[in-house]
Amino acid sequence: MERVSFSGTAIERLRSGRVLVLTGAGVSAESGLATFRGEGGLWEGRDPVELATPEAFRRDPKTVWRFYTERREKAAQASPNAGHRALAALEEALGERFLLVTQNVDGLHERAGNRRIVRLHGSLWRLRCTRCGDEDEDLDLTASHRCRCGGRRRPGVVWFGEPLPEGAYEQAAEAAARADIVLVAGTSSIVYPAAGLPEIGREAGAWTVEINPERTAISDRVDERVPAASGSALPALVEASSPGAD
Ligand code: OAD
């Protein structure tokens, strides 16, 4: 495991404070799932406007579905990595002091065992009818794209220009304002409003820690940077903050 270290403040706040974790696509990179930006990213050579907007779906549902079916297939084949497992262990240890806010739609946090989770950008595993609004979980990769009502079903993810799921941002922002520590892992922090959550926490007194091998849009505005992969850094952090680790 890569050697990573954390400040005493981070460890102390994890041990006794309220913890908010914000994750992005980078935490699933070590499970073999592509991130969005950068080399080999999902948006490389692709136009998000053609694949991740309600207009694109109205114009060309087949192309949009092809993109999401491929992502559902890859996510189904992937397994949670050590970073996901560390966050599940942290929830288990902290209970109500813990909240995970994710921009990820792949379901790997849930499969690792996290339940106290706010999905800001929806889920690849929920399908919603564009006519009657009926929404349910559907893990079947060959699921029909037609609803019982005859309407067309779409992936239950948030597309560009759409509002976040009702109440999700409010719950996340409220938890950020009450947190003693905000851990941000695996996100480029350029998509708002998710990217604004660490700042909300920091202004209200939380210690903010960014776990990311690369610098990001918010790197200059966090209290602590951990330049490491989440699959190494998150287990190390959980280990260091567990009782009796000193
Ligand atoms: P991005 O692709 O923008 O950023 C991924 C981040 O993960 C980058 O900063 C990488 O440096 C970092 N990273 C890569 N490997 C890592 C690792 N092993 N450990 C830790 N970090 C690593 O993905 P997001 O920030 O999640 O929105 O993107 C935000 C939103 O933009 C997505 O939810 C999606 C996208 O458009 C919608 O679809 C609405």
| Cα–ligand 1 centroid distance for 191 (angstroms) | 9
User: In this predicted structure, what is the pLDDT of residue 39?
Assistant: 87
Give the whole-angstrom CA distance, residue 35 versus residue 230: 13
Predicted local distance difference test score (pLDDT) of residue 85: 98
What residues in the chain have per-residue pLDDT under 70? 1-3
Q: Please state, in angstroms and rounded to a whole number, the distance separating the CA atoms of residues 214 and 201.
A: 22
Cis before 193 (ω within 30): yes
Quote the CA–CA distance of 36 and 24 in Å, as a whole number. 10
Nearest atom, ligand 1, residue 83 CA: 19
Looking at residue 96, what is its pLDDT? 97
Adjacency order of strands within the sheet including 181-185: 117-119, 98-102, 19-23, 181-185, 207-211, 224-226
pLDDT of residue 244: 74
Position in ligand 1 atom list of the atom nearest CA 229: 19
pLDDT for residue 121: 98
Residue 145 known to be catalytic: no
Distance, in Å, from the CA atom of 100 to the CA atom of 22, rounded to the nearest integer, reads 6
Q: Per residue in 169-181, pLDDT tens?
A: 999 999 999 999 9
Joined tokens for residue 56: 């694109």
- Residue from 148, 175, 4 nearest 86 by CA: 4
Q: What is the pLDDT of residues 129-173, one digit of tens each?
A: 999 999 999 999 998 999 999 999 999 999 999 999 999 999 999
Atom number, ligand 1, closest to the C-alpha of residue 160: 39
Residue 225: its H or E element: strand 224-226
The pTM assigned to this predicted structure is 0.97
Pocket test for ligand 1, best of 53, 81, 188 (most atoms within 8 A of CB): 188
